[in-house]
Structure 1
Amino acid sequence: MPVGTPERTKVTYQDYLSWPDDERWEILDGVPFAMTPSPSPHHQRICRNVAGELYLQREGLGECEIFLAPTDVVLDPHNVVQPDILVLCGRDQITAKNIQGVPDLVVEVVSPSTEIKDRREKKRLYERHGVKEYIIVFPEREYVERYHLSQGSYGGPDLFNWNESLDLLTFPIRLDLWKIFEKTPPEKSNTSENDV
């Protein structure tokens, strides 16, 4: 930083609480990001489908809960996010206004305006704070990236096309991606056990 340039003050969750209620924001490492415009109908349809599949298989979640945006997740005073979908197992982290702490699973459905932030800044943030499983859904390209925390790091993504199933690593749940993307199910092999 050049000499004489004042250091930017990091925004905190307390600052955020004083902002107008009719605006949605996230704070990443003390930098505010406006969450406008609102998501497209296609984005919301994909979110609904993912949340619906999780809800239909909720017995695999045990005592954990599913939350949808906009829900403030306060990871620390300088990091407040509103994931599209999250699963949280720590009920003691739920307050009257927000979630205080780290979700077990986060799903972000990208839009053209959020792809870089979701794949770079938010991925690093979730990794650093210990989100066990991070799933990024790409509606236009009809595929999914999954990151799983192992020894404090995500490593490379597991990639899934629309015609595949994704078995969550954090919970015993299978997401059939053709249902998420509202596609015709892939044809099953015509070979049966009796033919072998």
Structure 2
Amino acid sequence: MAKEYQFPEERIEDFTLLDPEVSYSYADYLRWAFEERVEIIKGKIFKMSPAPLMRHQLISSNLMSFIAPHFRNRQCKVFHAPFDVRLPNKKNDEDKRIFTVVQPDVCIVCDKEKLDEKGCIGAPDLIIEILSPSTASRDLKDKFELYREHKVNEYWLVFPNDNIVEIFLLGADGHYQSAARLSGNDHVPCGMLSAINLTVGDIFE
């Protein structure tokens, strides 16, 4: 079992002061003032890339340019990183009892009760992660299982090196099913964005 966080109630400005063996909460996360971007998954710290590569940024921009207009003036809202998504184990958990906070590349939230000034608390309806060398393993394994566990209805994995997009939909059995693996100029055939005239080519343009 991980050690409890023992730092005093003050802002931490040096990432190296953190102990990888400690279990951290969202309350701890709010006191961190260092430059490094991090996520917490089940209390464990994961360091993010200092700044995404240009191709990663272009793909993110392309996705937002197609997705955001579709949801303008609608109930569902679209967000892109950096945007904190807190995933509590229980609905009314306090910050000190929340041990997971992630920053998806793109997410869509349709329940306005999940949104506050800090970001989103609870599972978004759709999450898109753009893989990079430093995060690919986490996106494919840790986050895949995390999003399934918290019932994110739709999870997209974008593979920049292969120009491939894979869409997973949460099944009635609570497990992800691969609904589509797209490449070339394939149109998005399923899920929340199937009504948008979006192709894989548009994403990787």
Same fold (TM over 0.5): yes
Q: Which of the residues 179, 183, 195 maps onto 2:202?
A: 179
Q: TM-score, normalised by structure 2?
A: 0.80
Number of residues of Structure 1 aligned to a counterpart in Structure 2:
178
The amino acid across from 2:141 in the alignment is: R
* Structure 2 residue 82 is matched with structure 1 residue 70: yes
SS at match of 2:201: helix
Contact 2:130 2:157 in 1 (8 A): yes
Q: Distance in 2 between matches of 1:140 and 1:153?
A: 27
Deviation at 1:6, TM superposition (A): 6.7
1:160 is aligned to 182
Q: % of aligned pairs identical?
A: 36
* Structure 2 residue 120 is matched with structure 1 residue 99: yes
Deviation at 1:132, TM superposition (A): 0.4
The amino acid across from 1:54 in the alignment is: I
* Structure 2 residue 33 is matched with structure 1 residue 11: no
Matches within 5 A, 1:35-184: 35-58=48-71, 62-76=74-88, 77-151=98-172, 152-156=174-178, 158-174=180-196, 175-182=198-205
Q: Distance in 2 between matches of 1:38 and 1:125?
A: 24
Q: Distance in 2 between matches of 1:117 and 1:157?
A: 21
Contact 1:127 1:149 in 2 (8 A): yes
Q: Distance in 2 between matches of 1:14 and 1:23?
A: 17
Answer with 1 or 2: which has the greater Rg. Answer: 1
1:190 is aligned to none
Deviation at 1:58, TM superposition (A): 2.3
The amino acid across from 1:46 in the alignment is: I
Deviation at 1:11, TM superposition (A): 1.2
SS at match of 1:167: coil
Q: Distance in 2 between matches of 1:21 and 1:168?
A: 40
Q: Which moved more, 1:170-179 or 1:43-52?
A: 170-179
Deviation at 1:114, TM superposition (A): 0.9
Unmatched runs of 5 consecutive residues or more in structure 1:
183-196
Unmatched runs of 5 consecutive residues or more in structure 2:
5-20, 89-97
The amino acid across from 1:176 in the alignment is: T
Q: Distance in 1 between matches of 2:101 and 2:115?
A: 14
Contact 1:132 1:170 in 2 (8 A): no
Q: TM-score, normalised by structure 1?
A: 0.83
Q: Distance in 2 between matches of 1:6 and 1:40?
A: 35
